[in-house]
Structure 1
Amino acid sequence: MSLSLLRARATTLRPLAVRALATDAAKPPSKSDAQTSSSEIAPLPQKDVVTADAISGAPEQLRSRVVRIYQPTRNTMQSGPGKSSKWRIDWDTLQGSGRWENPLMGWASSADYMQGTRMNFRTKEDAVHFAEKQGWDYYVQQTEVKRVPPKNYAENYLYRPNKLRIAKTK
């Protein structure tokens, strides 16, 4: 930037900086000022709430569909709780949705275009709010309590009479 441009910007910013740092206290409003200002305020008109599906361009058939909100269980191949803290929305399968097996590849095909669609949310409240905003009917599937069976490594070496503790193969 040129020096003249920087000076021009500095001069335009100076009045704002001076105003922001001013310590002059404004006089408090008197009772007569408050009474006249309250009579001048017009009430807000009542507005109808427009759901997002009216302006999103989504097909009409989605309004009659029911969505399921659930927290997915963790994969059996993963040991930690990763990816199981999110909440998910997906659509229930339609009866008579025309499911068939693709003869070329053997894949399962369907005429339902929303069958493979799912959305992830951080919390259950976010997912419920999104479904309500879209105007969808929904139900929340409760999560199962994660039960960890009590096991101790020391149980492998406890003495039990008439039981072989360590099996030797040779």
Structure 2
Amino acid sequence: MTARIYQPSKTAMSSGMAKTKAWVLEFTADEPRRIDPLMGWTSSKDTQAQVQLRFATKEEAIDYAEANGIDAVVTLPKKRSANVRPGGYGENFATSRRGAWTH
């Protein structure tokens, strides 16, 4: 049984960083998904692919995998720096603004 340990990235639908702090242990599929000939749905008999375990730290996830005999691959996250402008959005409406405000 193999798994991967990673820290999820933020969703494309939100600018927030919710649910990105925890580390996830996710099992990889042992067999490929197949298309049901009657309905055309994608299905799999592998129920472990549905399991996601969350841990507070990377070390906890690695320790759990080692204790249960799971071969795990750790993927380190690519951190982004915050895109913060000096003054920010409020600078557009400052009373000390020198130029005319246009769109």
TM-score, reference length from structure 1: 0.47
Q: Quick one: structure 1 residues 134 and 158, their matched pair in 2 at CA, closer, same or farther if it must change by over 3 Å?
A: farther
Instruction: Give CA deviations for 1:41-99 in whole Å, capped at 9, x if unaligned.
Output: xxxxxxxxxxxxxxxxxxxxxxxx221011111223333322111111011233xx241
Q: Aligned pair 1:141/2:75, yes or no?
A: yes
Equivalent in the alignment of 2:2: 66
Q: Given that residues 98 and 111 in structure 1 are in contact (C-alpha distance below 8 angstroms), is that contact kept between their aligned partners in structure 2?
A: no
Instruction: Give CA deviations for 1:130-158 in whole Å, capped at 9, x if unaligned.
Output: 00000111111001112323434347978
Q: Percent identity?
A: 28
Where does the alignment leave 5 or more consecutive residues of structure 1 unmatched? 1-64, 160-164
Alignment of 1:159-170 (within 5 A): 166-167=102-103
Equivalent in the alignment of 1:109: 43
Equivalent in the alignment of 1:79: 15
Mark the structure with the bigger radius of gyration. Answer: 1
Could you tell me which amino acid in structure 1 is paired with residue 78 of structure 2? Answer: E
Report the 3-state secondary structure (helix = DSSP H, G, I; strand = E; otherwise coil) of the residue aligned with 2:46.
coil
Equivalent in the alignment of 1:89: 25
Where does the alignment leave 5 or more consecutive residues of structure 2 unmatched? none
Q: Partners of 2:15 and 2:54 in 1: how far apart? A: 21
Equivalent in the alignment of 2:66: 132
Q: Given that residues 131 and 137 in structure 1 are in contact (C-alpha distance below 8 angstroms), is that contact kept between their aligned partners in structure 2?
A: yes
Q: Whose strand proportion is higher, 1 or 2?
A: 2
Report the 3-state secondary structure (helix = DSSP H, G, I; strand = E; otherwise coil) of the residue aligned with 2:48.
coil
CA RMSD of aligned residues (A): 2.7
Report the 3-state secondary structure (helix = DSSP H, G, I; strand = E; otherwise coil) of the residue aligned with 2:82.
coil
Report the 3-state secondary structure (helix = DSSP H, G, I; strand = E; otherwise coil) of the residue aligned with 2:49.
coil
Q: Quick one: structure 1 residues 92 and 98, their matched pair in 2 at CA, closer, same or farther if it must change by over 3 Å?
A: closer
TM-score, reference length from structure 2: 0.72
Q: Quick one: structure 1 residues 68 and 158, their matched pair in 2 at CA, closer, same or farther if it must change by over 3 Å?
A: farther
Report the 3-state secondary structure (helix = DSSP H, G, I; strand = E; otherwise coil) of the residue aligned with 1:129.
helix
Q: Quick one: structure 1 residues 71 and 158, their matched pair in 2 at CA, closer, same or farther if it must change by over 3 Å?
A: farther
Comparing both chains, which one has the higher relative contact order based on Cα–Cα distances under 8 Å and sequence gaps of 6 or more?
A: 2
